[in-house]
Amino acid sequence: MLLAWPWLLALGLLVGRGEAQSCTQAYGGPNLARGQPTMQASPVASSGPGSSGCAVNGVCNGNWNSASCTQTNLVNDPWWSVDLGKEYSISLVVVKNRQDCCGYRLQGATVYVGNYMGDFGSSSISCGTITNIEEGSLTTIPCNGAVGRYVTIAITDRVGYLTVCGVEVYGTCPLSRRC
């Protein structure tokens, strides 16, 4: 009976609202995005809370004051991108929503993989769209081996803010290259 408690606790943490979930997951490889260069459309800050690098700084609690969230100004087609440094075959992207307010800002955000910073057009591959906008939610988007150097999250065809509070990217070297 004592052996069942750790499993029940782990299950409870996984199915919770997101408060107990961290972005750090064990997906069989390193987070390719952590600490990499980032950029976003019309940032609200160049450093500290709201700056683009907050999404990959390893702080993933979803709270604005912890400098774990990026945010654009109110713009048409807001986007955020990370430069992985070289091409990878992307397996999945994990996106953390803001915990302390404004979860709706991720509604309809799509994850793209491509070879240009900020590209969410015809030269990039769309992996999927975020539909869970509950505050603190953690969304895993499969990219099924899409090859690219940049991962972009964008909301297209509307004016809005884009707020992201943690991004992890997992993948491997493409078969055509050595890493």
The model's pLDDT over 87-123, given as tens digits with 9 standing for 90+, comes to 999 999 999 999 999 999 999 999 999 999 888 888 9
Task: For the chain, give the secondary structure using H, E and C.
Answer: CCCHHHHHHHHHHHCCCCCCCCCCCCCCCCCCCCCCCEEECCECCCCCCECHHHHHCCCCCCCHHHCCCEEECCEECCEEEEEEEEEEEEEEEEEECCCCCCHHHHCCCEEEEECCCCCCCCCCEEEEECCCCCCCCEEEEEEEEEEEEEEEEECCCCEECCEECCEEEEEECCCCCCC
Count up the domains in the chain and report the number: 1
Residue 85 forms part of a structural domain: yes
Residue 154 forms part of a structural domain: yes
The model's pLDDT over 9-32, given as tens digits with 9 standing for 90+, comes to 333 333 333 333 446 555 668 999
Domain containing residue 85: CATH number:
2.60.120.260
The model's pLDDT over 43-101, given as tens digits with 9 standing for 90+, comes to 887 777 889 999 999 888 899 988 889 999 999 999 999 999 999 999 999 999 999 99
Residue 133 forms part of a structural domain: yes
Determine the structural domain holding residue 121 and report its residue range.
Answer: 29-172
Residue 5 forms part of a structural domain: no
Residue 164 forms part of a structural domain: yes
Residue 67 forms part of a structural domain: yes
